[in-house]
Structure 1
Amino acid sequence: MTSPGVTPYTAPEVTESFIDGRQVAARQVYENIDPSTGRTWGQVARGGRQEVDQAVGAARAAHPVWRATAPERRAELLCRLADLIAGETETLARMESEDSGKPLSQARNDARVCSRYFRFYGHAIDSYYGLSLPLRPDLHVYTRREPLGVTGHVLAWNYPLQLMARQVAPAVATGNCAVVKPADETPRTAVALARLAIEAGLPPGVVNVVTGLGPEAGAALTAHPGVDHLGFVGSTRIGSLVAAAAAERVSPVTLELGGKSAHLVFADADVEKAARVAASAILQNAGQTCSAGSRVLVHESVHAELVERVTGHFAKVSIGPGTDDPDLGPLVSRKQQERVRGYVESAGSGELVFGGSVVEPNGVTGGAYFAPTLIDGVDPTSPIAREEVFGPVLTTMRFSTEEEAVALANGTDYALLGAVWTRDLSRAHRVAAAVEAGQVYVNTYGAGGGVELPFGGFRKSGYGREKGVEALDAYTATKTVVVQL
């Protein structure tokens, strides 16, 4: 018998690395834990230095042929892969929901966006050209954008499908071959995508996946001398280690790290919309989103209204296993649950308005659930106001002037996203320019935005840009050719 709302237990299977077009037998394994129940979804191959070396070798062997493949052919194959992903939306979404705990409808959206990344870059590569430079009449000067070689990708667990697609799609579109290390907690969809790449017709070795633990497989990939570019999504602490490993080889790296993004709600804002959007953004993926707007900075004249409206939205939230498609699923692990609880319990001077505790929906005692939480009036210098919590925890702070609002928004080490809520067009542009963030929204909030929008941050939020056409530049180098006529 299973409790209401709990997905029936299934027999364990082994998720194995996928290298050079085939699965690789596991030498060691670890358990893939269901965050909704604490049970296991099966075992995962615990790859390490040997598997990473095999994958990098396969990618390097495939690279000469793949880089010489016509862009038109690469485009055709990426679009075919996009079609296959779209056709497997339900299967991929269920795996994503089971592994991460996110609501099934959010996982479906992740699968759809994953497909769109491959289609977008399949189309974009057709029009990705070098330049002709009119230097002198007797010289023919032009540039070429050339692939870097083998790209390594160390991914986070919060958006496995999207994160893999947004790095791998531009990398392989430009002629690179990829080695992916998915997060320990969410390995299955990465392996599924690598299989679909082979089915779509991409040559073996172009997309490889090594499953395993971060300190083993992840560290081996970041330190491998055969990797020509590293992409990392995760914490600032680990990001600095990845950057150091890349620096040892003098290879480029793109870092998408943490965020502590702020909503700036001015007196003339549509407070109901701001409250609704802020509540929705922090609930998405249980707040485990680097671009979640976890701080609401609100003008003192509309502060009480905003707090009341956010509380009303939180009170209606349904909580349960991701595969039941509630408003709020579990956190990714019990470890993350304890981390979030620690931040809330040490909030200090703030007033706990709503939530603030572990919950056990439908009597499930092994899950990693945490209630939607609103803490009002936190000290801007406190850890909960400055550090990334990565949970469904929203804090509010008051301001009285525009200058004070901007100072509060810029008062953390992170600079990823921001939102400005006002009907004053001049203020909107003025504040958008003053807020230090890689993306700024006005009277809306995209939590990372679409495939087309360049994405990345400043300071401890990382460097480099993913998404959009700019990502193609990250995976290529410019060669200048000068011909005497």
Structure 2
Amino acid sequence: MSVNVSMAMIPAAVSEFMRGPHRLLIDGKWVPAASHRTFPTHNPADGSLLSDIAAAEAVDVDLAVTAARRAFDDGPWSRMAPAARAKLIWKLADALEAQAEEFAFIETLDNGKPLNDAKVVDLPHSIEVLRYFAGWCTKLNGESISISNPGTWHAYTTREPVGVVGSITPWNAPLMMAVSKIAPALAAGCTVVLKPAEQTPLTALKLGQLILDVGFPDGVVNILTGFGETAGAAMTAHPGIDKVTFTGSTEVGRLIVRAAAADFKRVTLELGGKTPVIVFPDADIDRAIEGAARSIFSNAGQICNAGSRLYAHRDVFERLVDGVSRRASEIRVGAGLAASTQMGPVVSQEQLERISGFIASGQNQGAEIRAGGGRIGSEGYFIQPTVLTGTRPDMDVVQQEIFGPVLCAMSYDEADLDRIAREANATNYGLGAVLWTQNLSTAHKMARKLKAGTVRVNGGGLDPALPFGGFKQSGWGRELGREGIEGYTELKSVAMAL
């Protein structure tokens, strides 16, 4: 494992940005928190201090919401022609693309993920999401409705922006999540107050610089760094916010629902997952091995849709588990800036301890470690890619979201699709599922039986055009796709007697 990486490789512009100061973006200006309090953010690769960040609290939230409210009610944004909004959002995508290298370095320093992953996954996806939703600005149409009331009528529907949106994003994919919430809200004509996760605020602040540079009107996007229990709680309770969109844990999602219920804010929640990966005996096993390993070990398993439960037919189980375990042992774990790194650290000491606790719990309940299972070194927050066998449906490691590089492998004896689906569905989550089979009939039948918002067959990943969200306790609503932008609108019916 490589931890120590020369800071000389970091671009000068990134080093300058990291020095700060890192303030709040409110009404088009960078300002300190009203309390002048700050908090540190650390490099997960070695625990070193990266920057001090302004700590927003309720008074800062009120200022930001007031600015967003003014920009929506009185300012130019909601009245701007759709094509003009589209041009600005596209311009932001161009600006992000021009500085993609800098953003990738900042994301890696703040989150820990391999630099190459930031370059080839996070940045291209973020840029494409902006361009995708820029295209929706001119396509949010209503429709004419035929009604049967006596007389002659002209009836139609329109879509209008919901208003001021409070967006709260997680630490596992900071830039991607920020863009996935900002882009559809802006395209719909809403204004935004964004709170990035306190562990990883830096790319959101860098994005704020671009938003100012490309010419968005003051108050359209406001960015508040701070903690969930202060800034986040104040946002969800604020009467000036019309919609809250949150990605994070199911536990915090419940708190947001309770707070939003006071004034019936619109709410979109993308919460936890426990994605099953189901391998049938006719699958291309070599591809399934690579796909299963990638699904759980990418981003150190810190993905809501990570394939954390593996179900394989007994005829292929040992070959599959051996292959994934071998792949786990070969993964080069290290600092994200090291060129050889394939998996970086987890985001924090707290997360490291949480994952380690789940592994110990699995062992105590009878699971066997086939690969990994331990911490790597004493500096930074590194843990081995881990494969557990002998797991049962009632174990905590099978039922609860670990959010780390830990795979629970189980076998089944016969291809009874109903039985397999029952076991795959037997958690509180329903975010995603993965199937490996060469039988189209099996794939289609299983896709219908699985209680999951996204079913991927033989690979695949996120695309801005595909709605993303979950069943059961994996959330409410959808992000991305047409449904993603419609979630930032209200539908109005108009009936006119002629």
Same fold (TM over 0.5): yes
SS in structure 1 opposite 2:133? helix
Q: Of 366, 382, 386, which aligns to 1:373? A: 386
The answer to whether residue 102 in structure 2 is matched with residue 91 in structure 1 is yes
Aligned to 1:420: 435
Aligned to 1:21: 28
1:20-48 per-position Cα deviation (integer Å, ceiling 9, x unaligned): 11111241011111110011001011110
What amino acid is aligned across from residue 352 of structure 1 in structure 2?
I
Aligned to 2:398: 385
SS in structure 2 opposite 1:127? coil
What amino acid is aligned across from residue 102 of structure 2 in structure 1?
T
Using the TM superposition, give the Cα deviation of residue 277 of structure 1 relative to its aligned residue in structure 2, in angstroms: 0.6
1:59-108 per-position Cα deviation (integer Å, ceiling 9, x unaligned): 00101321111101001111111100111101111111111101111112
Using the TM superposition, give the Cα deviation of residue 296 of structure 1 relative to its aligned residue in structure 2, in angstroms: 0.6
Using the TM superposition, give the Cα deviation of residue 12 of structure 1 relative to its aligned residue in structure 2, in angstroms: 4.9
Using the TM superposition, give the Cα deviation of residue 7 of structure 1 relative to its aligned residue in structure 2, in angstroms: 4.2
Distance of aligned partners of 1:321 and 1:7 in 2 relative to their CA distance in 1, 3 Å threshold: farther
The answer to whether residue 223 in structure 2 is matched with residue 209 in structure 1 is yes
Aligned to 2:375: 358
* Distance (Å, rounded) in 2 between the aligned partners of 1:85 and 1:4: 29
Using the TM superposition, give the Cα deviation of residue 6 of structure 1 relative to its aligned residue in structure 2, in angstroms: 5.7
The answer to whether residue 5 in structure 2 is matched with residue 5 in structure 1 is yes
* Distance (Å, rounded) in 1 between the aligned partners of 2:191 and 2:183: 10
SS in structure 2 opposite 1:126? coil
1:198-237 per-position Cα deviation (integer Å, ceiling 9, x unaligned): 2122101111100011111111111111000000000000
The answer to whether residue 211 in structure 2 is matched with residue 181 in structure 1 is no
The answer to whether residue 118 in structure 2 is matched with residue 103 in structure 1 is no
What amino acid is aligned across from residue 464 of structure 2 in structure 1?
V
Instruction: Answer whether contact 2:58 2:231 (CA < 8 A) is retained.
Output: yes
* Distance (Å, rounded) in 2 between the aligned partners of 1:302 and 1:6: 44
Unaligned 5+ residue runs, structure 1?
Answer: none
1:240-287 per-position Cα deviation (integer Å, ceiling 9, x unaligned): 000111111111100000000011101111111111111012111110
SS in structure 1 opposite 2:427? coil
Q: Of 280, 286, 295, which aligns to 1:281? A: 295
Aligned to 2:62: 53
Unaligned 5+ residue runs, structure 2?
Answer: none
* Distance (Å, rounded) in 2 between the aligned partners of 1:472 and 1:320: 38
Q: How does 1:182-201 map to 2 (within 5 A)?
A: 182-201=196-215
* Distance (Å, rounded) in 1 between the aligned partners of 2:44 and 2:382: 8
Using the TM superposition, give the Cα deviation of residue 366 of structure 1 relative to its aligned residue in structure 2, in angstroms: 2.6
Runs of 4 or more, structure 1, over 4 Å off, are 6-12
Using the TM superposition, give the Cα deviation of residue 450 of structure 1 relative to its aligned residue in structure 2, in angstroms: 1.1
- Number of aligned positions between the proteins: 478
* Distance (Å, rounded) in 1 between the aligned partners of 2:155 and 2:281: 56
Instruction: Answer whether contact 1:21 1:195 (CA < 8 A) is retained.
Output: no
Instruction: Answer whether contact 1:418 1:435 (CA < 8 A) is retained.
Output: yes
Aligned to 1:474: 487
Using the TM superposition, give the Cα deviation of residue 469 of structure 1 relative to its aligned residue in structure 2, in angstroms: 1.1
Instruction: Answer whether contact 1:7 1:323 (CA < 8 A) is retained.
Output: no
Instruction: Answer whether contact 1:282 1:293 (CA < 8 A) is retained.
Output: yes
1:277-331 per-position Cα deviation (integer Å, ceiling 9, x unaligned): 1101211111000000011101111111001111221122111111224111000
The answer to whether residue 325 in structure 2 is matched with residue 311 in structure 1 is yes
Aligned to 1:458: 471
Aligned to 1:262: 276
* Distance (Å, rounded) in 2 between the aligned partners of 1:445 and 1:258: 20
* Distance (Å, rounded) in 1 between the aligned partners of 2:395 and 2:230: 34
Instruction: Answer whether contact 1:15 1:187 (CA < 8 A) is retained.
Output: no
| TM value normalised by structure 1 | 0.96
Aligned to 1:334: 349
- Percent of matched pairs sharing the same residue: 39
What amino acid is aligned across from residue 147 of structure 1 in structure 2?
P
* Distance (Å, rounded) in 1 between the aligned partners of 2:284 and 2:419: 20
* Distance (Å, rounded) in 1 between the aligned partners of 2:25 and 2:103: 17
Q: Of 361, 368, 371, which aligns to 1:346? A: 361
Using the TM superposition, give the Cα deviation of residue 373 of structure 1 relative to its aligned residue in structure 2, in angstroms: 0.4
SS in structure 2 opposite 1:346? helix
What amino acid is aligned across from residue 478 of structure 1 in structure 2?
L
* Distance (Å, rounded) in 1 between the aligned partners of 2:388 and 2:207: 40
* Aligned-residue RMSD, C-alpha: 1.5
Instruction: Answer whether contact 1:297 1:408 (CA < 8 A) is retained.
Output: no
* Distance (Å, rounded) in 2 between the aligned partners of 1:183 and 1:473: 25
The answer to whether residue 144 in structure 2 is matched with residue 132 in structure 1 is yes
The answer to whether residue 58 in structure 2 is matched with residue 40 in structure 1 is no
SS in structure 1 opposite 2:185? helix
SS in structure 1 opposite 2:434? strand
Aligned to 2:234: 220
1:394-424 per-position Cα deviation (integer Å, ceiling 9, x unaligned): 1100112323321221111100000111122
Instruction: Answer whether contact 2:3 2:45 (CA < 8 A) is retained.
Output: no
SS in structure 1 opposite 2:159? strand
SS in structure 2 opposite 1:35? coil
Using the TM superposition, give the Cα deviation of residue 471 of structure 1 relative to its aligned residue in structure 2, in angstroms: 1.1
Distance of aligned partners of 1:270 and 1:238 in 2 relative to their CA distance in 1, 3 Å threshold: same
Aligned to 2:89: 78
* Distance (Å, rounded) in 2 between the aligned partners of 1:195 and 1:297: 46
What amino acid is aligned across from residue 312 of structure 2 in structure 1?
V
